[in-house]
Structure 1
Amino acid sequence: MPRHMTRRRRAAITVPLVAIALVTAVPVGYVASLSVRSRDDVLNGGLLPSHLYWRNWPDAFRAVDLGHYVANSWTIAAGSVLLTLLIAVPGAYFTARAGRAGGRLATLVLSSYCAPPVVAVLPLFFLLRNLDLNNTVTGLALVDGLANVPVAIWLLDGFVRKVPRDIEEAAWLDGLGTWASLRRIVLPLIAPGVAAAALICFFLSYNEFLFALSFAQDSGSQTLPVVLSLFQGDKNVEFGQQAVVSLVGIAPVYVLAVAAQRRLVAGLSSGAVK
């Protein structure tokens, strides 16, 4: 193929990708702009600051203990992912291998995700209260972990279906039971899908707001999304400080997404075809 044709193809792919990246970066850039603007400057309109107002950064760190809330968010997200995978991996194995019964379970699990989350707030509140888990990091991790199970099963079902049954049957002939073959044969083969599902469920839990607001009234267990809402008062909104907290919350998750993007893309693409 001629070099000029190769260059044209590269340009045809590169230009749209650069345009999409720039459009995606606009909201983050605007938040960064808000973090160095005073309240009056924000209310006057405009996308760029008329002058740099750096006091938002020290004021935001003095207003709230950002490290504590970021740690809460990460702890809850990590704990919820662990619980989700413990349930979703065998659940996806059953939905993929159990025929009609598995299909019925998949329908039941996915239908539970169709209801708006607010309908579960009241029963979950009383359940956590009876378990003495209100206002605790453990309670939020439990709720988020269970809430993300349908998503994880839906993602992992396709990966399990791609594993040939012949491999499992050979393992059964060698004396392995169902659970042992799942742990020693199927799980290593669907590891990219498990990594992708774990990342997606981590992001869902990290950004969750409704349950965190409803079940964590104590500052010791509140997460970063809840703290962001506290900067909006009855009369004044601290736009700059809110933007600072947003950037601090985005940064570690962005680093995680960039570091794990290959596994995420590889996992999702390998499970795209059933």
Structure 2
Amino acid sequence: MTQLADQRPIAAAQEAAVDPAVNSSSTTTSAAELEQLRRARPRGPHRRSPLAQVGVRLALALVAVVALAPVAFLVSLSVRSTDDVLTGSWLPGGFGELAWGNWSAAFRTIPLAHMLANSWLVALGSALVTAVVAVPGAYVTARAGKRGARLSAALLAGYCAPPVVAVLPLFFLLKEVGLTNSVVGLALVNGLANAPVAVWLLDSFVRRVPVELEEAAWLDGLSVAGGLRRIVLPLIAPGLVAALLVCTFLAYGEFLFAVSFAQTTASQPLTVGLSLFQGDRTVQFGQQAAAALVGVVPVYVLAVVAQRWLVGGLSQGALK
């Protein structure tokens, strides 16, 4: 019986070799099946239909218009007089009517360069404070399991509270340690205020790091802090960069803490300086728009340059 079973495939092969019609039929069938499989494969992004490509380009153009429209409006305002703005028109009347003096007047009205430097010092300093607090905080919430997830949610819920409720106690705390009217004080407050956002963003990154890597390092004599610094931190670097960029942008545009804790021109950031163009009865729209452009353009440049790290880091954190 075994010999007969072994001879059947051989006989079938010999029959196919002798009968060319059978061989040709099987070849044709295989080719047809391959063609059906090729057509049934899902099309990738590079195989979009022309209509889909047009739709994608229109959507991207709409996003670009929405993103650049405020900047274009600021450019228009910066070269128009106050009377021209109050007429309600969106564009200046003509090239000869452009008020180029708004730019030089903006630098004379407030110390624009100094306030811009203060804004970046506060933003970068707060990012450093956020990193020092958020990295160990995210490590604790990630390694604590469900309790850590609840703690992370509680921190984020506290961040959602109105910031004005914390202004008065923070003012007295900064006054006690001598950090009112100080760039350091603003950086410290903004860094601690943005820490819950960074903890929430970094939590998913830390959870993706296998705990077995740390356990192996502990067996080799490495401490918990050493494992965090030498193993976990390099692996969550993309997420850390993305989180710090987000917190930098948040601190750069913050106004409430700045106007409450910085009463002197030497310590005020640009957000407070922009409010100085508004008087009791008049608003210098052109000068204010020119000063706003000075502060907005560097942020746009940084966002474009860091787009790869920002989008890549946040997208990696979304994949658990």
Alignment deviations for residues 144-187 of structure 1 (CA, whole Å, 9 cap, x no partner):
01100101001100111111222222222222221111111111
Partner of 1:204: 250
1:148 match: secondary structure: helix
Residue 118 of structure 1 aligns with an amino acid whose one-letter code is: V
The structure whose Rg is larger is: 2
Partner of 2:274: 228
Partner of 2:73: 30
Partner of 2:265: 219
TM superposition shift of 1:6: 4.7
1:110 to 151, 156, 173: 156
Partner of 1:66: 112
**Percent of aligned pairs with the same residue?**
61
CA distance in 1, matches of 2:164, 2:277: 23
- Normalised by the length of structure 1, the TM-score is 0.96
1:271 match: secondary structure: helix
Residue 49 of structure 1 aligns with an amino acid whose one-letter code is: P
Matches within 5 A, 1:9-158: 9-50=52-93, 51-158=97-204
Partner of 2:207: 161
CA distance in 1, matches of 2:233, 2:52: 39
Partner of 1:270: 316
CA distance in 1, matches of 2:160, 2:289: 32
CA distance in 2, matches of 1:5, 1:149: 42
Residue 19 of structure 1 aligns with an amino acid whose one-letter code is: L
TM superposition shift of 1:100: 4.2
1:261 to 301, 307, 312: 307
Residue 255 of structure 1 aligns with an amino acid whose one-letter code is: V
Residue 238 of structure 2 aligns with an amino acid whose one-letter code is: P
Distance 1:57 1:158, change over 3 A: same
CA distance in 1, matches of 2:319, 2:238: 14
CA distance in 2, matches of 1:215, 1:101: 36
Residue 187 of structure 1 aligns with an amino acid whose one-letter code is: L
Partner of 2:293: 247
Distance 1:166 1:4, change over 3 A: closer
Residue 234 of structure 1 aligns with an amino acid whose one-letter code is: D
Distance 1:99 1:5, change over 3 A: closer
CA distance in 2, matches of 1:160, 1:125: 34
TM superposition shift of 1:106: 1.7
CA distance in 1, matches of 2:179, 2:127: 18
CA distance in 2, matches of 1:44, 1:111: 44
Q: Which moved further from structure 2: 210-219 or 111-120?
A: 111-120
CA distance in 1, matches of 2:153, 2:85: 48
TM superposition shift of 1:110: 1.9
How many residues are aligned here? 273
2:221 pairs with 1:175: yes
Q: Following TM superposition, where does structure 1 have runs of at least 4 consecutive aligned residues deviating by more than 3 angstroms?
A: 3-9
CA distance in 2, matches of 1:112, 1:4: 47
Q: CA RMSD in A?
A: 1.5
CA distance in 1, matches of 2:203, 2:294: 35
Partner of 2:5: none
Residue 253 of structure 1 aligns with an amino acid whose one-letter code is: V
Alignment deviations for residues 101-135 of structure 1 (CA, whole Å, 9 cap, x no partner):
42343233223212100000000010011101110
Q: Which moved further from structure 2: 212-221 or 157-166?
A: 157-166
- Normalised by the length of structure 2, the TM-score is 0.82
2:318 match: secondary structure: coil
TM superposition shift of 1:78: 0.7
Alignment deviations for residues 179-236 of structure 1 (CA, whole Å, 9 cap, x no partner):
1111111111110000000100000000000000000001110010001011010111
Residue 160 of structure 1 aligns with an amino acid whose one-letter code is: V
TM superposition shift of 1:62: 1.3
CA distance in 2, matches of 1:41, 1:141: 39
Alignment deviations for residues 233-263 of structure 1 (CA, whole Å, 9 cap, x no partner):
0111000000000000001111111110100
